[in-house]
Amino acid sequence: MTISIGDVLRSDGTEFDFSYRAPLVGEEFADLDTVGEADVELKLSAVDGCVRVRGKLKVTVRLVCDVCLEPYEQVMVLPFDEEFLPEPDKLDPDEIYTYANYRLSPDKMLRDLILLNWPMRCRCSEECAAPING
């Protein structure tokens, strides 16, 4: 998904709402097992070319239970608040999010957000929370 941010860049300090519902597909999400469509709510505002992107991602992911080894689905609701800068020629392009040609793609940010919040321990239910010996 890319978002046209011409209006955002032309209106310093004004917040624009943008939301969409779509499956998370494409190379950014190739190794993440998401289910169905994700809800993405964005609020975009710019100051001197720096675009603040905040909002909320709601997505269902498919996990495997650590205890019974059965697959199950879990809804993740993840708030975010990030900044995007114009396409840089900086030393560390991977460390920041960028936009170019008045278009911004939140995909990498959303991928990072999901990875950052990916459960360390997967339990399909409370009842399945028996302690593991050893």
* Beta carbon of residue 66, minimum distance to Zn ion (angstroms, whole number): 8
**Contact by Cβ (8 Å): 9, 102:** yes
CB atoms closer than 10 angstroms to residue 88: 12
64 phi/psi in degrees, rounded to 5: -120, 125
> By rule CB under 5 A, what string of x and - marks binding of each residue 12-51 to Zn ion?
----------------------------------------
* Beta carbon of residue 117, minimum distance to Zn ion (angstroms, whole number): 20
Residue identified by tokens 């080894």 is 69
Applying CB under 5 A, which of residues 35, 65, 78, 122 lies at the interface with Zn ion?
Answer: 65
Q: Which is nearer to Zn ion, 32 or 67 (CB)?
A: 67
* Beta carbon of residue 101, minimum distance to Zn ion (angstroms, whole number): 47
63, 103, 120, 127 from 18: Cα distances, Å: 29, 13, 31, 40
| Helical residues (DSSP H) of the chain, grouped into ranges | 6-10, 107-116
Applying CB under 5 A, which of residues 1, 35, 68, 122 lies at the interface with Zn ion?
Answer: 68
Binding residues for Zn ion restricted to 75-134, rule: CB under 5 A: 124, 128
Residue 42: both structure tokens together: 């964005």
Element spanning 72, H or E: strand 71-86
* Beta carbon of residue 127, minimum distance to Zn ion (angstroms, whole number): 8
Task: By CB under 5 A, name the binding residues for Zn ion.
Answer: 65, 67-68, 124, 128
